Amino acid sequence: MKFTILISSEDDSSVPFMVAQIERTGTLSAASLGLTLAESKGLLANVQRELVESQVQCLVEKQRICTRCETRRTIKDYHSVCFKSLFGGVNVRVPRLNGCSCEGKGTPPKTVRIDELVNWVSPELEFIQSKLAAMIPYTRTADLLELMLPVDTANAPSTVRRRALSVGKRLDTELHKSPDMIDAECSKTNTGPVTTVGLDSGYVKDCRPRSEGSFEFVVGRILYENNNSRSLGFVRTIESNSAAGHRLKQRIREQGQITDGITVFTDGDPGLRCLLMSALPKATHILDWYHLTRRLTVLKRVLLGKEAIKQFPTDYHDPLCKHLESLKWRLWHGYIGGAINRIRAILFRLRLPTIAGKHVAVRMRRLIKELLRYLKNNQDSLANYGRRYRNGERISTGFVKSSAVNQLIDNRMSKSQQMRWSPLGAHALLQVRAELVDGRLAAVFSRWYPGFAGHSQGLQVAG
């Protein structure tokens, strides 16, 4: 059997163009039933080339006609460009048109161009490459696209990287260039108030030589009353506190409004608190219970470890365990004074001559002193967690940890991966990832390229 696939334009009477010929000989087998991937790639590439060439030709013909006197302009010269798309590169000859005689002498020649098309890269190629690159490494993005599609140009890992990062930079510039809107003005158009903001920080490996090994990023989640949420992320060294504050406020205003009743959760990092308090001065700050309890868990693990049981006599070990339990109870109920007293009691016990010199006691003293410093720094942000919990109120940025951090960082940029990052690269990619996890990347592209349909519009097939 032999199939010939032709395409013809309904707008002109040119001869149908053959895009593919598919031949099947011999017995039908599982492998020869239907179209193969290689055939489909060739088919797509040929259709793409024919479409692009015809569309550009049509545009050139339109632009040649002078809008004032309807005379056809002459062509000064041509230059060649390659239109890069998911379905291959198409070489196109783009003419420069001489000025029309009605425009007077000395009118410079004009190159035929397509609105919003930058460097002859298809927005869809840019979208798919940056979407995948935000999820999987650049090399794998390039491999995957090459495996499935006839994308034969502009798909090297370095190009994928450059394209994804340029999308991130554009998002970043767009956000920082948008003016700091006045609250009253925004509240008219916005849908609902923001209830909670959570910020958390983490580290990614630094790729720069002579660097300190890793650098800090911040991710956050904004929750609106109508259950919508918005993510944000930035690299600490790239963004100043005031710029980060602007980012936070812009994100809040995109869907909601800044009200006085916002609750803000952080891990107690002084820089993060500072940022939040300057951006949202009227917000209530609460130290995240998850971070607080994690420190207690570490202490408990040391105290219940084999080493501690071996080194501490029972009449020392048991009271320490009880003290630790009651410390947790006091913190849960927001008795900060009582909690600090309990910490002092633990420190006193750990300094008793029988155990003071033991390795475990030294380690525990260091941990408990850190905890004391942490609590003192965040004294005014400790809540009655028990009461909040019983009232069904939030006590933790667990929503940041489990959603924003995991979605924004863990899979793609986590320290456990062998990936190393430059602060600028990580910052730019975080912008793409934030839009991706919020399900807004396609909407961003529609804003940049009017008519861009993302994945929402399918092929129209005649019934």
Choose between 100 and 382: whose C-beta lies nearer to Zn ion: 100
Q: How many chain residues interact with Zn ion (CB under 5 A)?
A: 6
Choose between 99 and 192: whose C-beta lies nearer to Zn ion: 99
**204 part of the interface to Zn ion, by CB under 5 A:** no
Choose between 100 and 272: whose C-beta lies nearer to Zn ion: 100
Choose between 64 and 365: whose C-beta lies nearer to Zn ion: 64
Between residue 79 and residue 108, which ones bind Zn ion under the rule CB under 5 A?
100, 102
- In the complex, minimum distance from the CB of residue 55 to Zn ion, in angstroms, rounded to a whole number: 24
**69 part of the interface to Zn ion, by CB under 5 A:** yes
- In the complex, minimum distance from the CB of residue 102 to Zn ion, in angstroms, rounded to a whole number: 3
Write out the H or E segment, with its range, that includes residue 95. strand 88-97
Residue written as token pair 């918005």: 230
- In the complex, minimum distance from the CB of residue 105 to Zn ion, in angstroms, rounded to a whole number: 13
**66 part of the interface to Zn ion, by CB under 5 A:** yes
Choose between 110 and 415: whose C-beta lies nearer to Zn ion: 110
Between residue 134 and residue 193, which ones bind Zn ion under the rule CB under 5 A?
none
R_g of the chain, CA atoms, integer Å:
31
Write out the H or E segment, with its range, that includes residue 136. none
Residue 262 CA, distance from chain mean position: 24
Q: What is the dihedral of CA 445, 175, 257, 399, to 10 degrees?
A: 80
Stretch near Zn ion under the rule CB under 5 A, chosen from 58-66, 255-263, 295-303, 413-421: 58-66
**65 part of the interface to Zn ion, by CB under 5 A:** no
**DSSP per residue, 240-307:** -HHHHHHHHHHHHHHHEE--TT-EEEE---HHHHHHHHHHSTTSEEEE-HHHHHHHHHHHHHHHHSHH
Choose between 76 and 300: whose C-beta lies nearer to Zn ion: 76
- In the complex, minimum distance from the CB of residue 103 to Zn ion, in angstroms, rounded to a whole number: 6
Type of residue numbered 458:
G
- In the complex, minimum distance from the CB of residue 99 to Zn ion, in angstroms, rounded to a whole number: 8
Strand 75-85, strand 17-23: pairing: unpaired
How many whole angstroms separate alpha carbon 141 and alpha carbon 314?
A: 58
C-beta neighbour count of 369 within 10 angstroms: 12
Residues that bind Zn ion (CB under 5 A): 66, 68-69, 71, 100, 102
